[in-house]
Chain A
């Protein structure tokens, strides 16, 4: 178990380094001068030269990367080309929004997905069919489109929830939650159906196992067979899927934040991309990578807790 975690962490460090190298490598591939393409056609030779210095583009690539990495290790991700703000400051200001969004949607995905999957495995029939259709539709409809529809129907037409905007949890927990209901719903739809399908498949697989028949033959209550034995044994494969959907919800968050105008990392990175603000994009990239690492680590740990074979060895 400890070895597993150490391995994971080592892999993670490699990962951060590789993804940052990848971006640097891409920058060097850009045909022409990145500074020129960042500043656009209206740039003067002077301003281009200044940007080149600011980005360190006058240095060799390796030196550029080295100084960025050294800075990153000290918690300095550089400055925004656009506003001159510290990238770390910009990012930290927006982390709570994205974190709230992803945390809540993960909870929804795990709880609702598990419950629906288990229920349709046990009850089968109509619920299973409904789940099939909903999951297909959930897959087919782009999350940003669902988000727009939710804004249109619930917020604008029915005026139940605030359509857009974000309130800090510390300021007003009630409005924080209310404001996040629609974004979380839009973000969770796909994940819930994916987890539910996985859960149903593995629960049906477990239900056909010999030990379930033995438990039944022993007279153990069906409710405790399902809630203890089926749940516990089908949780493992579902956990992996939950992990994947959480990582995937980073992408979803970028879209959903844009639709609901939430001041999170997704909107930050979209704006930065539009304005060619590379240090910010790179910084958010580092944060997202860290997030993926943390999620994977959490999944591994949970896996160990749930699976006695891993726990022992």
Chain B
């Protein structure tokens, strides 16, 4: 195959398959089986029809490696010759299928329009015809001709494959270079032959192997039912039938005959899988797995060097959990990946939330805000784990709690609403039912009481009680976010984590939701952690802000103070680039560069690469939190330089 298409892409595909042990083994097995059948005339030890009644129904021996059948014929030889019939039948079906499916599939997908619609209709019909019966009818009409039967199998199967090739061609059509070829004036046919066909080659190979596996089952099955060449001609299916009739006296016969079919099918399936994986890899970035960096110093160790020069009164968030805080987070570190080889996503995160306080968690995407929020509830995705630190809720340690224990926290004490309200509701259930579930998760209440509370919650988020009967796809994004808030309030939490609650909403709806959150906070007295990248939202709602950058907290301060005088260059840059903080008339500055992904974190200050004040000292070693007067802290060693620069700009 690679000889026919000496292109880089194709050799790439084959090289990838060669890297998969299962793919290689399957390929070798298939080559052996196909080669053995083709060369049967030369390599078979005996004539497949030669009978020897002195050695009937023998097990494997040196003379007859796979034993002999009831007429004393050598089974290995019969298998080798039988392969010609079975594999030949598969080839007939595959070729027939391809002759029909490739042109029609490409035509439907690439040309589209009327041709597409007609072809799809025909495919619908082909797909619903009971193929077996047609094949059997063909056998009845065409006097047991296996050849014609396999042609009809190919025709009947082409429907499904037209669909596969159609969608492959469809996706190719949308690629840019096809447009370029069209502009260059190449005819449709030539474009299809030159561009579409090579592109769908990967899909094609996968489908051909899988279809071959299925067809082998049909071919041998028909032979098993005594269709096709009559005895004594050797066929794989016929040999299974023979074995079945002798099952009591010589069960061994079932092994080689069924085994060769199973091994061939298995090899085809595995090769298909390997091809599919290799084909998919071609389209994903190869660099994704690169550079998982081991975690650095243990979480406990990083807490120690916190500046000893800071006055005691301002170290309240530094070491020990704060007993007065509702939530006290210390040294929180989260890793993703296999234990021992984790990629650190956030490290040594410290902060406190007091009862009833509204705190903003600010940073660009990739700064670790959402990971921090999810870690608080023990809801890290996939292979994420808390690898160090402590989370205390009113003095109680949450890190290390079992899921069952955490369930009493989730919703009841800490609740959460997320970024995308439309996907945070289960599309299959009415929204009222989902609110009811949230209520019943924490209290054993009857149906009537659940309904009453549901109405009450809907009213509290300013929704008509009738909304309860709607499905998520029948409500707007703003309504969905209100429902999500109602669900979060159902357990009467002390702390609400709102992860970018307005980002996905229309600008007009955003203000309403923020208003609602403010009112609800005042009514219930719950604390709120507002995760956001928008200073305007933070200024609107929060009294304090925690700024994160590349997995670390870089600054903590009261919102008013941060706006007046940021004490970290990142906060300063973030404020400058924010439309809400911009001075009228001045062009909006942006921070050059991007947040580095975890495996590219530098040893020293994470912000050094983008920091205008960076010096050599910044890059030497991890930067510790500096605690400043007025309950402020900043992870920077050049706070004075920043302050001087800011006052210079101001004057």
Contact = CB atoms under 8 A, between A and B. Distances in A.
* Genuine A/B complex: yes
Interface string B406-430: 0111111001111010011111110
A111 B385 CA distance: 35
A240 interface: no
A292 interface: yes
Contact of B379 (A156, A213, A220, A289): A213
Contacts of B418: 210, 213-214
A179 B124 CA distance: 37
Most B CB within 10 A of own CB, among A141, A156, A210: A210
B441 A218 contact: yes
Interface in B423-441: 423-429, 434, 437-438, 441
A141 B258 contact: yes
Contact of A139 (B136, B213, B434): B213
B437 A233 contact: no
A145 B258 contact: yes
A278 B140 contact: yes
B141 A229 contact: no
Contacts of B429: 228-229, 232
A93 to B, nearest CB: 18
Most A CB within 10 A of own CB, among B136, B213, B218: B136
Given A156-B248, A222-B403, A288-B133, A217 B415 contact: yes
A239 interface: no
Nearest to B474: A312
Contact of A281 (B136, B251, B265): B136
Interface in B462-520: 471, 473-474, 484, 487-488, 490-491
Contact of B221 (A144, A156, A222, A292): A144
Interface residues of B, number: 78
Interface in B354-392: 374, 377, 379, 381-382
A259 interface: yes
A219 B224 contact: no
A47 to B, nearest CB: 17
A255 interface: yes
A211 B423 CA distance: 6
A159 interface: no
A2 B326 CA distance: 56
B224 A255 contact: yes
Summarize A's interface: helix, strand, loop or mixed: helix
Summarize B's interface: helix, strand, loop or mixed: helix
A123 interface: no
A173 to B, nearest CB: 29
B140 A152 contact: no
B72 interface: no
A151 B139 CA distance: 28
Given A144-B224, A208-B381, A214 B416 contact: yes
B130 interface: yes
Given A145-B240, A145-B261, A307-B428, A15 B125 contact: yes
A209 interface: yes
B59 interface: no
Contacts of B474: 312
Contacts of A273: 136-137, 139-140, 227
A218 B247 contact: no
Contacts of A145: 240, 254, 258, 261-262
Contacts of B411: 217-220
A140 B265 contact: yes
Nearest to A142: B217
B128 interface: yes
Given A247-B130, A255-B225, A218 B258 contact: no
Interface residues of A, number: 76
B141 A215 contact: no
Interface in B218-272: 218, 220-221, 224-227, 240, 243-244, 247-248, 251, 254, 258, 261-263, 265-266, 269-270
Interface in A121-156: 136-137, 139-145, 148-149, 151-152, 156
A227 to B, nearest CB: 12
A77 interface: no
Contact of A211 (B140, B225, B262, B424): B424
A214 B224 contact: no
B354 to A, nearest CB: 22
B134 interface: yes
A287 to B, nearest CB: 9
Contacts of B416: 214, 217
A218 B140 contact: no
Interface string A233-277: 100000000000001001100110011000000000110111011
Contacts, number: 223
Nearest to B411: A219
B217 to A, nearest CB: 5
Contacts of A222: 403, 407
A83 B526 CA distance: 85
Interface string B115-137: 00000000011001111111011
A309 interface: yes
Interface string B284-309: 00000000000000000000000000
A103 interface: no
A214 B129 CA distance: 44
A27 interface: yes
Interface in A278-306: 278, 281-282, 284-285, 288-289, 291-293, 296, 306
A23 interface: yes
Nearest to A284: B133
A172 B487 CA distance: 55
Nearest to A230: B426
Interface of B: 124-125, 128-134, 136-143, 213, 217-218, 220-221, 224-227, 240, 243-244, 247-248, 251, 254, 258, 261-263, 265-266, 269-270, 374, 377, 379, 381-382, 403, 407-412, 415-418, 420, 423-429, 434, 437-438, 441-442, 471, 473-474, 484, 487-488, 490-491
20 contacts: A14-B125, A15-B125, A18-B129, A19-B129, A140-B265, A140-B266, A141-B265, A148-B247, A152-B254, A208-B382, A213-B381, A217-B377, A218-B411, A221-B441, A250-B130, A254-B225, A274-B226, A276-B141, A289-B133, A309-B427
Interface of A: 11-12, 14-15, 18-19, 22-23, 26-27, 30, 34, 37, 136-137, 139-145, 148-149, 151-152, 156, 208-211, 213-222, 224, 228-229, 232-233, 247, 250-251, 254-255, 258-259, 269-270, 272-274, 276-278, 281-282, 284-285, 288-289, 291-293, 296, 306-309, 312
